[in-house]
Amino acid sequence: MYLWCRLLIRRQRLAQAELKLSDAIADYPCHAGLLRAAAVVAQNQGRYAEAVARWCALCDLQPDLHVAWGNLAACQRLLHRLPDASRSVARALALAPEKAWLKTEAARIFDQLGEPERSAPLWTELLDRPGASAETWQGFIEAELRLGHLDAAERALATASSRFPAHRNILAARGAVAMYRDDWEAASDIWSRYATLYPDDWVGGFYHERAATMLQFERAERQLPQPSYAPVAVGHVEDESLRQLMLRFESLGEDCEFGSVQRRYGAEPLGLLRWNDTSYANLAAALEQDFAGCGSPETTVLDFGEIDEVYVRDRRWDLGMHTFLFAREVSLDALFPKMCRRLVFLRDKFIDDLAEGSKILVFKSDAINIRELQHLHSLLRATGPARLLHVRHGHWAGLQGWPRGEPGEVKAISRDLFVGYISRMGDLEDICFDEWVGLCRSAVEATTRDAQRLEGVADATPRCSPP
């Protein structure tokens, strides 16, 4: 049975191998060959949690098998269990210190841990071996960038480009170098090409969104025309009418969900709070002061997220904004004044747009009651004719004074103040895009009806005849 399963795996008939293995392992749960075959099948099919369990069982049976420890480390890395992965790959290297694939795996893990001082020597050693791969060159280049060695990275990129002129890993390395140099025009172009050539690789879309967003900010701050293209977002929907619909709104938080909705439909407005973490209390406090001093070095700090992303935060109101940059990739001393200038620019734009009143404002939160929502609306209207759409989970419909309604529906609370419901919120990996589109369409219709009704009342008002 074991040999039959190995033959099926070699022929990439993984589903058939899996059926055979499940029956065999039930009869022989401690058979090392069957456990290894089952782990390989699970790993190749992307079921990394199952593969970890299989490799762990095999490591218990054969603790001196470096292949088991090395593949266990790879699966743990792909599950972002980096401390576990680091321990597993160390065990593998202790058993087989000269294996190049284990050194590659260790370098990948150290890179993800944000420890380029540990990964760079490994990439260097791998480069010195005959036939170094494009992936090895990319790893070396990116590790040198994280160490701040731009000259070394550019020399390596020139060499790698001559050896692998059209390889995807080298194209990705070019994008990394362009981002490090703050050349957002080049970075956006490179990652756009990468995303077009390799649409199944999320990396291209992710980095192009970052580069295009940074280019957008840079051009706006320098008062230059915006690029004619929109970011190539993963799952982007080409529909100009929906893009125009989304551009009629501006997000106030409480998180990035509505900003992600806009991005899906190709709308990329610049907004102070589009990529912010906010709350009712902090937003209200900032509005009461007209966001005065926003971007001042005395009140601004750089903070760090779980994956080492840099956030810029106003310490008074605890408003944290994504920068789409990572601490290991940038100079924080150079980044801080740039982020302060950006906040000043976005604050001024926000206040001007609020005074104009042309956009419908969106605030999504379950942690707010009707009285607080009305207070928030009054603060917004102190600056301009604000129209506010509040979005919350559908299970609140008809409870605690909230109007009854279905997900995707908008209900009026008072003039220019509306509430809409969605069936899911808070999970940026599972956004209910269709319901958001329904909310936006309904909000535009509702505000249009209100405006027409008020115009009708004004037209019907009797006027005094001149004497």
**Model confidence over 61-76: pLDDT tens digits?**
999 999 999 999 999 9
The mean pLDDT of 430-441, rounded to a whole number, is 93
Which secondary-structure segment (H or E) carries 410? strand 410-414
Domain ranges of the chain: 245-252+357-457
Q: Dihedral, CA atoms, 149, 151, 153, 159, nearest 10 degrees?
A: -160
Q: Which two tokens stand for residue 401?
A: 């004074």
Q: Kindly report the pTM of this predicted structure.
A: 0.71
Length of the chain: 467
Strand intervals (E) in 219-356: 249-251, 276-277, 300-304, 309-314, 319-326
> According to the model, what pLDDT value does residue 221 have?
73
Nearest to 294 by CA among 347, 336, 251: 347
pLDDT value at residue 231:
45
Report whether pLDDT(243) > 90: yes
Q: What pLDDT score was predicted for residue 217?
A: 84
Q: Which helix (H) or strand (E) holds 149?
A: none
Residue pair 139/119 in contact by the 8 Å Cβ criterion:
yes
* pLDDT (mean) for 441-457: 75
3-state DSSP call for residue 389?
strand
- Give the phi and the psi of residue 303 in degrees, each rounded to 5: -125, 170
**Of residues 18 and 365, more confidently modeled:** 365
pLDDT tens per residue, range 363-399: 999 999 999 999 999 999 999 999 999 999 999 988 8
Looking at residue 116, the DSSP 8-state letter turns out to be H
DSSP per-residue letters across 9-77: HHTT-HHHHHHHHHHHHHH-TT-HHHHHHHHHHHHHTT-HHHHHHHHHHHHHH-TT-HHHHHHHHHHHH
| pLDDT of 31 | 72
Mean pLDDT over 13-36 rounds to 62
